[in-house]
Chain A
Amino acid sequence: MAEAAAEEYQAQTEHEGHDHPSERSYVVIAIVLALLTALEVATFYVEEQLGGLLVPSLMVMMVVKFFLVVAWFMHLRFDGRLFTRVFVSGLVLAVGVYAVALTTFRFW
């Protein structure tokens, strides 16, 4: 019974390619996320020293945190590509539409 389930699983994972990370990997990712959050908060106290670097550095850290959670905790790195396409479509549409909308308000 268990062997049949394992074989079925193997066939399934070969198709979907969704081996999930180990618990150790999850903890390592969480530590990286915590460190990035600490760095983000630290920028609040050195705003003036960072000057023009403040916003770009915050944006980079935000994007890295976003992708770490999506790729590892939400398993998009390991799951079927269709899931990635569906989510990225919504994300790109949202960023595109609102970037254009905000640009219109600012420049027109």
Chain B
Amino acid sequence: MSVSEQAAPVAATAGPGTHPDHVPHDATAPAHHTNTGLSNEKLGMWLFLGSECLLFGGLISAFLLYRTKDVEGMAGPAVADLYDIPFTSVSSFVLLMSSLTMVLALSAIQRADHRRARTWLLTTAMLGASFVAGQVYEFTAFVREGLGYTTNLQSSAFYTLTGFHGVHVTIGILMLVSLFVMSLRGRLGAEKAETVEIIGLYWHFVDIVWIIIFTLIYLVPA
């Protein structure tokens, strides 16, 4: 057992006025002696996520614009004709549940429960990998139906949007696996809970982007 894993659990630090349904953030986390009193790293991640809204907003808008444009003379099939809604629904459910396992990993690391934290981190990465595998399967099926990246404007916008999202999920998986390896080597103590939280923020953002994509792109009819 590593030194960090020998740290005592710190869950029982809530004051008498703490809401019974809430448990405190990790007590071993250092106070943030910054101008704002907040963690600069966390603020940086929120700034990044705010800017990511603009990136995905542009990609989603491009698809919404092109899915109804020049449909009559369009080469190849329309993207909407190829959707496999039951399959994509399962993928969406898998990604949604990965957000739950991510917060459970954070909760475990805050309690210095490293074994459980590793289990949840690995589960989250595997759920993410299942989602990406589903996306690869979907892309392959679409290409077999004659819808390539450059077949028409719709397909280009669709592959760019969902592909960008898939790349984000893949980056998230790499970060989760890194956390898992760090934990195995005893380098992810309770004092590093904020690192897990920041990567968790990224992961949840990827999830909320998919919540929007699934509704606007797959479920709302053109």
Please give me the residue from chain B that is nearest to A105 by CB atom. B65
Binds A, one of B125-133, B162-170, B203-211: B203-211
Q: Is B24 a contact of A70 with CB atoms below 8 Å?
A: no
Q: Is A91 a contact of B21 with CB atoms below 8 Å?
A: no
Asked whether B119 is an interface residue with its Cβ less than 8 Å from the other chain, the reply is no
Q: Is B31 a contact of A8 with CB atoms below 8 Å?
A: yes
- Which B residues are in CB contact (< 8 Å) with A74? 200-201, 204-205
How many chain A residues sit at the interface, stated as a range, is: 35 or more
Q: Is B57 a contact of A97 with CB atoms below 8 Å?
A: yes
Least Cβ distance of B217 to chain A in Å?
11
Q: Is B96 a contact of A62 with CB atoms below 8 Å?
A: no
Q: Is A54 a contact of B221 with CB atoms below 8 Å?
A: yes
Q: Is B24 a contact of A87 with CB atoms below 8 Å?
A: no
CA gap between A12 and B29 in the complex, in Å = 9
Q: Is B211 a contact of A69 with CB atoms below 8 Å?
A: yes
- Chain B residues within CB distance 8 Å of chain A: 8, 10, 13-15, 18-19, 21-32, 36-38, 42-43, 46-47, 49-54, 56-58, 60-61, 64-65, 85-86, 89, 92-93, 96-97, 99-100, 102-104, 106-107, 110, 197, 200-201, 204-205, 207-208, 211-212, 214-216, 219-221
Q: Which 9 A-B pairs have the closest CB atoms?
A: A90-B50, A94-B57, A30-B100, A62-B215, A98-B61, A94-B53, A6-B13, A19-B22, A9-B27
Q: What are 15 pairs between A and B in contact, CB < 8 Å?
A: A9-B13, A10-B13, A11-B31, A16-B32, A19-B24, A19-B25, A20-B23, A41-B86, A54-B220, A59-B220, A66-B208, A82-B43, A98-B61, A101-B61, A102-B64
